[in-house]
A and B are shown apart, each in its own frame.
Chain A
Amino acid sequence: METFDIVFYIFATLTIVSAFVVVFTKNIMYAAFSLLFTFIGVAALYVLLHADFLAVTQILIYVGGILVLLLFGVMLTNNVVSVDIKTGTLNTIPALVAAAVIVGSLAAVFYMTWSTVGEPATAPTATTRAIGELLMTGYALPFEVASVVLLAALIGAALMARRTRKP
């Protein structure tokens, strides 16, 4: 499996480097487009862990949905032809606190579950049916709650868009 290790390191590097570009570039369009490579890299890492359904969902939701909407928003709200759309650093201290809390909780989760994490599945197994059954049985309530939240957001967005049109 040595060649798969090389594939892993290629995609890991792609993910990390593009994530750095997202954070440190001054041009917001570059940040949005390098987010594409971060998402693809993460999806590839899921594939290497044999989580095929998760990988494809990652691409569908993040690349096909969120990233397209993000680019759309940036393109429509900024002056259409100007290239100098810049990002700056604002609210440094609250951002640092928030980042520290997230890193802390991630590290806590990491150390607490480190011993219980099993080996990844060695052979590609069909995960779609199992995920579907769990969503419809054991996790039906969280699933439905999430869809109601999304529906509320959708209706809210449509309402706000309408209100601005009629002054």
Chain B
Amino acid sequence: MKTELLNLIANEVLVYTLMAVVPLLWVIPFALFAVWWERKISAHMQDRLGPMLTGGWHGWAQTIADIAKLIQKEDIIPTAADRKLFVLAPYVVFVGSYAAYAAIPFAAAYVGAEINVGLFYIISISSLVVIGLLMAGWASNNKWSLYGSLRSAAQIISYEIPVALALLAAVMVAGTFDMQEINRLQSGSILDWFIFQKFPFLFLAGIIYFVASLAEVNRTPFDLPESESELVGGYHTEYGGMRFALLFLSEYANMFAVSAILVTLFFGGWGSPFGSFLSGAWYFDLGWFLLKSMVVIFVQMWLRWTLPRLRVDQLMYVGWKVLIPFSFVIILGIGAWVIAAGH
């Protein structure tokens, strides 16, 4: 895609900018859809109907109406809040979430930036989100906001370690940080996916990554930063209107990003599960990639409406005493295996 664009427009910087905008065309409709989807899933799991009226068929236009409402809302900044940081924080959070999309390979033909350190870049750039959340919580000048953002930061920096270690296990098998290359190594049938390679080490690594990524994006059972029953709304308590919409959008963008990483590293990315059947063209790649990611997102939502929330000490226990030791064992096991097998 990049070479075609370069032939079309001679300016390199302009081409890179265009390439960077492409995922936004997916993220925004996805967030609108996912909010509606989550409401329907939660409703069906709790034996009720959820939104049914707006738009006619099963309330499909509910989130569009919600966004229209949020846009019209008055822009409120609390008097005691720190104005500059309060305004800046949602943008920092969204930039952090969206920057990860630069290295996510949507198809064999498209990845925002073909960089050698793609996966490493995604792990590191997501730390911007932590800074943004701390900024939002502190600038709101509200105890609930501050506790929410402190919890969120503590949780994200604790679970970054198992996330990085589990991804490192896959990288050790692949031998590269390049997301496209990792994806290409898994092309073939379903058995070539990394989740079934070096069994059971990468299988466990995939599970550890999934659990830890739930904590990274503040999803239940790790949604302590915004647990409504204790903290009102956590770091976004004081936010309303478009600023709230931006924080919400980046939350869903994060959900998709971690699912996309899981799919790329462990479930074959844009590759078809049936060998050369339904593969080859860019639309098949994109279709498989989005389908697999949506399945992972469905599991995230399913867990949210099934499991109760953990306590803070349980959260730290799971992170430091369960996930991290297991990921070290996996790394040692894969290291020994790679040395013994010679590749």
Chain A residues packing against B (C-beta within 8 Å): 3-4, 6-7, 29-30, 33, 36, 40, 52-53, 56-57, 59-60, 63-65, 67-68, 71-72, 75-76, 80-81, 83, 124, 126-128
Contact = CB atoms under 8 A, between A and B. Distances in A.
B146 A128 contact: no
Interface string B92-134: 1000000000000000000000011100110111111011001
19 contacts: A3-B12, A36-B128, A40-B128, A52-B117, A53-B120, A56-B120, A59-B125, A60-B124, A63-B124, A64-B160, A65-B127, A71-B134, A71-B138, A72-B153, A72-B154, A81-B141, A126-B116, A128-B116, A128-B177
Given A53-B116, A60-B120, A72-B134, 5 more contacts: A4-B12, A29-B82, A33-B85, A68-B153, A126-B116
Contacts of B131: 33, 36, 63, 67-68, 71
B146 A75 contact: yes
Interface of B: 11-14, 80, 82, 84-85, 92, 115-117, 120-121, 123-128, 130-131, 134-135, 138, 141, 143, 146, 150, 153-154, 157, 160, 177
Q: Is the interface of B mostly helix, strand, loop or mixed?
A: helix
Contacts of B121: 52, 56
A33 B126 CA distance: 16
Contacts of A40: 128
B127 A60 contact: yes
Contacts of A52: 115-117, 121
B79 to A, nearest CB: 12
The 8 closest A-B pairs by CB, nearest first: A64-B127, A60-B124, A3-B13, A59-B124, A126-B116, A56-B121, A63-B127, A56-B124
A81 B116 contact: no
A65 to B, nearest CB: 8
A68 B14 CA distance: 33
A53 B154 CA distance: 26
The interface centre, meaning the residue of B92, B120, B127, B146 with most chain A CB atoms within 10 A of its CB, is: B127
Given A33-B85, A80-B143, A128-B117, A57 B124 contact: yes
B171 to A, nearest CB: 10
A75 B13 contact: no
Nearest to A59: B124
A83 B82 contact: yes
Contacts of B127: 59-60, 63-65, 68
Contacts of A29: 82, 85, 138
Contact of B134 (A59, A75, A126): A75
